[in-house]
Chain A
């Protein structure tokens, strides 16, 4: 297959970095799949089909990883080495953790409130806003790329994981509310 040693950014011919042009990434993804996808080899020999399956699988995985800011940041940390990406760390930010607990309580209280939907909307907007500000921080931290900043980025990644999970739970509550109608 094509060079498996290439990193995901190189695969798409894009500069290694946290800030990337999402539209450009999607366009390159589509161009790549037009070349490697198994549908292009449906009437071809077995070896081409296997190769194409591997290639298309890799391209899908690379695209999924780079498209989402959280997985992109995690992937960048692994590329930078020093185990930023996979070491289990404790999040050292009491204020953030306290805020998480408060948000969680607010989410639990939504169902019992007088107007659950608008309570939930407000809460989800707040969480989305916090996620956006983490993304902005990551951009700065990766731009600098010093060991201290990468360490800080690893902390930011952990915060984003908290927030994403919370957002997913809020979505689940929203789904329940919608289905109850």
Chain B
């Protein structure tokens, strides 16, 4: 292993190591990976020059196929070929039933809440399917960049709930990726557009993908993207257009709805093809191969198509109306409407969106690639490759978070469209005399009744000392981090009894399950697992060392006494030595924790100094402004 370098004390120019980072658009229909190279962001092609990877995975006894090959096999092998895994991720089997008519798979329901799809290669969860797609994209990035990825940014629909976000992060973990951040798709698109144009002002992003719809209103101001409101539907997209057309085609052909899966899949393929033709031509010819060697021929006109999809488009427009209202802006304040997602190629969508916002929507960046490109730009910034970058994304939580109270009612604790990160607390009390436990039911959604909201988690606060009803004060604190993930804590104020949960959603995998899957996928003996942990800790150690080195060379002179500096450098040297020599992951982990602890004071000083500087600049502005006012 190469020796680690340590900067000479006082050296002003940090020998900053460029970290390899990538942005991944994990889509319902297609996925892409992009990186920033020589200051330019672009999507990466595979060996055949194809940028788009169909989000399709085929399982067989021979192994796993991902992408175009799997997609082509879908019609012949529908049961073992999983597409649209994103529609299923983070959802329970009962929820899938509502999508069921369109999901041509067999589920083995016996094994808990996470749906498992029965395939020739064994039962798989949507999380594992997504992990396969992520692995292929990550391999593409490492091959192109010529090194391991330090971290990735993965995009998710803004309207994804906590369970869907957790599940996406689990998929990344299974794929062996370090996730810098989950980034909302419309925000990623705004980054790609905004940096391109440098346009300050209010913008709307309309993002209609294969299976999800999002709309965000955001304000761009001197590099800061502030999301004002977001909304959408995580089960509405171009797939639904296809399904509506397919149903019409089958109806025209006189085929019963409950037809065999092969015909259904074929009808969906023909529907999609017809939809694409209609973006260019006034009508599309369709030929449908039916089961008994027969076929049906017909045409789909633009007018007929509009009739089929208008109800779906209207749903998106209603959401736009609500989001504009939530953002507190007038329609004419919105400068641009940016179109994102493959389904915005549909002319009828552009027409209706243009009508609502009363302006021509922007389509000048490839709607398939814009999200991945935005993610790559953010990944590059998060990796610390642009220390002077002004760009900052301030996103919001898409859905209100709350708890269940008496009578099955929802008490909202964090309302939707609150800027992240956020922490909010509320106090509750007991219902009965001597009540010693309280069940906390965490829900997400806008409706009054708990039954109409999404159940995220349940946990109990126990050992509440006996008191009369209404005397206990139980403070429930919700915090949501920058990834949009929720943490809940409950504490009885008088006794200090507390309970907390990392909200592990009802439809997610437990840590043990993820670990077991990791082990199974690695399929190695214990010593390999140990080796893997050691490598992970070495990477972590290097991350900490680098961060500290960069800090020291930028402001040690200003913030540290000579003695403090020596202490920090000593600790740094010690960790560097251990990272090189130690064969014990646990020892290395302890050393990292120790160094972090020893440097806490320094980290705090740096942050405070940053804040002082940020505010100092403003005082100057303020004085000059006041002078100006006096002159009036």
Quick one: given A57-B423, A60-B421, A61-B423, are A179 and B318 in contact (CB under 8 Å)? yes
Give complex CA distance A1, B603 in Å.
9
Which residues of A line the B interface, CB within 8 A?
1-3, 12-13, 24, 26-28, 30-40, 42-48, 51-53, 55-57, 60-61, 63-64, 171, 174-175, 178-179
Contact with A along B497-524 (1 / 0, CB 8 A): 0000000000000000000000000000
Q: Which of A1, A34, A179 has the most CB of B within 10 A?
A: A34
Whether B382 and A39, one on each chain, are in contact in the complex, defined by CB atoms closer than 8 angstroms, is yes
Whether B547 and A53, one on each chain, are in contact in the complex, defined by CB atoms closer than 8 angstroms, is no
Query: Is there a chain A Cβ closer than 8 Å to B334's Cβ?
Result: no
B611 contacts across to A, CB distance below 8 A:
2, 32, 35-36
A33 contacts across to B, CB distance below 8 A:
224, 392, 394
B543 contacts across to A, CB distance below 8 A:
43-45
A-B residue pairs in contact (CB < 8 Å), sample of 26? A13-B618, A24-B618, A27-B618, A30-B226, A31-B617, A32-B614, A35-B610, A35-B613, A36-B607, A36-B611, A37-B482, A39-B378, A39-B392, A39-B393, A39-B482, A42-B180, A43-B382, A43-B547, A44-B547, A45-B544, A47-B600, A48-B603, A57-B423, A60-B418, A64-B418, A178-B318
Give complex CA distance A171, B328 in Å.
11
B423 contacts across to A, CB distance below 8 A:
57, 61
Q: Out of B325, B392, B418, which one reaches A37, CB within 8 Å?
A: B392
Q: How far is the CB of A3 from chain B (nearest CB, A)?
A: 8
Give complex CA distance A75, B481 in Å.
25
Whether A38 and B610, one on each chain, are in contact in the complex, defined by CB atoms closer than 8 angstroms, is no
Give complex CA distance A1, B601 in Å.
9
Give complex CA distance A64, B414 in Å.
12
Query: Is there a chain A Cβ closer than 8 Å to B608's Cβ?
Result: yes
Interface contacts beyond A31-B614, A51-B607, A53-B482: sample of 9 additional A-B pairs, CB < 8 Å, sorted by A: A2-B611, A24-B618, A31-B615, A35-B614, A37-B482, A38-B481, A61-B422, A175-B321, A175-B322
Q: How far is the CB of A123 from chain B (nearest CB, A)?
A: 16
Whether A28 and B618, one on each chain, are in contact in the complex, defined by CB atoms closer than 8 angstroms, is yes
Whether B392 and A52, one on each chain, are in contact in the complex, defined by CB atoms closer than 8 angstroms, is no
Whether B614 and A47, one on each chain, are in contact in the complex, defined by CB atoms closer than 8 angstroms, is no
Give complex CA distance A121, B613 in Å.
46
Give complex CA distance A178, B314 in Å.
12
A32 contacts across to B, CB distance below 8 A:
611, 614-615
Whether B547 and A13, one on each chain, are in contact in the complex, defined by CB atoms closer than 8 angstroms, is no
Query: Is there a chain A Cβ closer than 8 Å to B251's Cβ?
Result: no
Query: Is there a chain A Cβ closer than 8 Å to B622's Cβ?
Result: yes
Q: Out of B19, B321, B418, B422, which one reaches A43, CB within 8 Å?
A: B19
Query: Is there a chain A Cβ closer than 8 Å to B279's Cβ?
Result: no
Q: How far is the CB of A177 from chain B (nearest CB, A)?
A: 11
A43 contacts across to B, CB distance below 8 A:
19, 150-151, 180, 382-384, 543, 547
CB-based closest 7 A-B pairs: A42-B382, A35-B610, A31-B614, A13-B615, A38-B482, A43-B384, A45-B544
Whether A56 and B603, one on each chain, are in contact in the complex, defined by CB atoms closer than 8 angstroms, is no
* Closest chain A residue, CB of each to CB of B605: A2
B contact residues, range? 35 or more
Give complex CA distance A46, B595 in Å.
11
Q: Out of B221, B481, B596, which one reaches A45, CB within 8 Å?
A: B596
Query: Is there a chain A Cβ closer than 8 Å to B199's Cβ?
Result: no
* Closest chain A residue, CB of each to CB of B596: A47
Give complex CA distance A139, B131 in Å.
57
Give complex CA distance A60, B390 in Å.
19
Give complex CA distance A28, B221 in Å.
12
* Closest chain B residue, CB of each to CB of A26: B221
B325 contacts across to A, CB distance below 8 A:
171, 174-175
B608 contacts across to A, CB distance below 8 A:
2-3
Whether A42 and B596, one on each chain, are in contact in the complex, defined by CB atoms closer than 8 angstroms, is no
A174 contacts across to B, CB distance below 8 A:
325
A1 contacts across to B, CB distance below 8 A:
604, 607
Give complex CA distance A27, B544 in Å.
32
Quick one: given A37-B482, A43-B383, are A55 and B614 in contact (CB under 8 Å)? no
B622 contacts across to A, CB distance below 8 A:
24
Query: Is there a chain A Cβ closer than 8 Å to B586's Cβ?
Result: no
Q: How far is the CB of B497 from chain A (nearest CB, A)?
A: 24
Give complex CA distance A34, B611 in Å.
9
A28 contacts across to B, CB distance below 8 A:
614-615, 618
Give complex CA distance A28, B618 in Å.
7
Give complex CA distance A38, B394 in Å.
10
Q: Out of A36, A47, A61, which one reaches B597, CB within 8 Å?
A: A47
Q: How far is the CB of A21 from chain B (nearest CB, A)?
A: 8
B350 contacts across to A, CB distance below 8 A:
none
Quick one: given A13-B615, A31-B615, are A178 and B321 in contact (CB under 8 Å)? yes
Whether A35 and B181, one on each chain, are in contact in the complex, defined by CB atoms closer than 8 angstroms, is no
State which residues 229-278 of B face A: CB under 8 Å.
none
* Closest chain A residue, CB of each to CB of B221: A30
A3 contacts across to B, CB distance below 8 A:
608
B618 contacts across to A, CB distance below 8 A:
13, 24, 27-28, 31
B619 contacts across to A, CB distance below 8 A:
13
Give complex CA distance A63, B421 in Å.
12
* Closest chain B residue, CB of each to CB of A38: B482
A12 contacts across to B, CB distance below 8 A:
615
Give complex CA distance A37, B224 in Å.
12
Whether B393 and A57, one on each chain, are in contact in the complex, defined by CB atoms closer than 8 angstroms, is no
Q: Out of A2, A31, A42, A179, which one reaches B181, CB within 8 Å?
A: A42
Query: Is there a chain A Cβ closer than 8 Å to B52's Cβ?
Result: no
Give complex CA distance A27, B223 in Å.
12
Whether B383 and A37, one on each chain, are in contact in the complex, defined by CB atoms closer than 8 angstroms, is no
A13 contacts across to B, CB distance below 8 A:
615, 618-619
B420 contacts across to A, CB distance below 8 A:
60
Q: How far is the CB of B467 from chain A (nearest CB, A)?
A: 22
Give complex CA distance A48, B602 in Å.
10
Give complex CA distance A42, B618 in Å.
26
Give complex CA distance A34, B393 in Å.
9
Query: Is there a chain A Cβ closer than 8 Å to B430's Cβ?
Result: no
Whether A34 and B419, one on each chain, are in contact in the complex, defined by CB atoms closer than 8 angstroms, is no
Query: Is there a chain A Cβ closer than 8 Å to B479's Cβ?
Result: yes
Quick one: given A43-B384, A56-B421, A175-B322, are A35 and B607 in contact (CB under 8 Å)? yes
Q: How far is the CB of A36 from chain B (nearest CB, A)?
A: 6
Query: Is there a chain A Cβ closer than 8 Å to B413's Cβ?
Result: no
Whether B615 and A42, one on each chain, are in contact in the complex, defined by CB atoms closer than 8 angstroms, is no
Contact with A along B534-562 (1 / 0, CB 8 A): 00000000011001100000000000000
Give complex CA distance A62, B412 in Å.
20
Whether B421 and A38, one on each chain, are in contact in the complex, defined by CB atoms closer than 8 angstroms, is yes
